[in-house]
A = this chain, B = another copy of it.
Amino acid sequence: MAKACVNNLFVSLDGFAAGEFVTFDQPIGEAQALFSYFDGRGIEGVDKVDAPVTADRALFAMWGQGIGAEIMGRKKFGPQTGPWPDDGWRGWWGEEPPFKTPCFVLTHHPREPMEFDNGTSFHFIDASPAEALAEATSAADGGNVRIGGGPSMVRQFLADGLVDFMHLVIVPVTLGRGVWLWEGLEGLEKDFTIESLTTASGLTHQLWNRRG
């Protein structure tokens, strides 16, 4: 059975998972403090860097394991809104997107897909969460599907009961504003078993597995 997985979802103590505004200069909006603990290297696994293998990095490395496709919100792909401008934009990552799988970008403005040499492709679909998950599961070819965010989109998949596994990272900061992850998710924990552990960095990792 393929699983729908949320990986490395960083949330502040007050429940904010990303800023309200996305610009070209600041892709994750106002919530940079959330990522002060994360250097981006973990997602490559333990092999790509000389840096020490911390528990944080080991757990972040689940990001890539067994994933065969991703679904992402439009703002994760780019800051544009409305009909797509003819601006040559191919995502925040240049010609080396880290995904290396098909990625489905949720948008009300479908367009032709984009392909990259490293195995990444972006497919722009106007679909409900359940429809997108069905399409991504098929494209994943037996692998799992990463529910890639941003947080509004993760929240929608959680509300619809579509998430099988979630790696939540609780960061010891209070942001005061942003996208509140928990909106409308009262009692979410009832559907999951939850394991918590805190590492030397001060991060608390929670592994949410949907009850069988």
CB pair A50 B207 closer than 8 Å? no
Q: Choose, from A56-64, A111-119, A126-134, A183-191, the stretch at the interface.
A: A56-64
CB pair B62 A62 closer than 8 Å? no
CB pair A55 B209 closer than 8 Å? no
CA distance A46 to B67 in the complex (A): 9
Given known contacts A47-B143, A143-B47, A199-B197, is B65 in contact with A61 (CB within 8 Å)?
yes
Give residues of chain A (21-80) contacting chain B, Cβ–Cβ below 8 Å. Answer: 45-48, 50, 52-55, 58-59, 61-62, 65-67
Chain A interface, DSSP helix/strand/loop, else mixed: mixed
Q: CB within 8 A of A66: which of B46, B144, B197, B198?
A: B46
CA distance A19 to B211 in the complex (A): 37
- A10 CB to closest chain B CB (Å) equals 17
Q: Does A124 contact B (CB under 8 A)?
A: no
The 7 A-B pairs with the shortest beta carbon distances in the complex, nearest first, are A47-B66, A52-B209, A45-B65, A46-B65, A195-B200, A46-B66, A55-B197
27 example contacts (A-B, Cβ-Cβ < 8 A) are as follows A5-B46, A45-B65, A46-B62, A46-B65, A46-B66, A46-B144, A47-B66, A47-B67, A47-B143, A52-B165, A52-B193, A52-B209, A53-B62, A53-B165, A53-B209, A54-B195, A54-B207, A55-B195, A55-B197, A55-B205, A55-B207, A59-B59, A61-B61, A61-B65, A195-B200, A197-B197, A197-B198
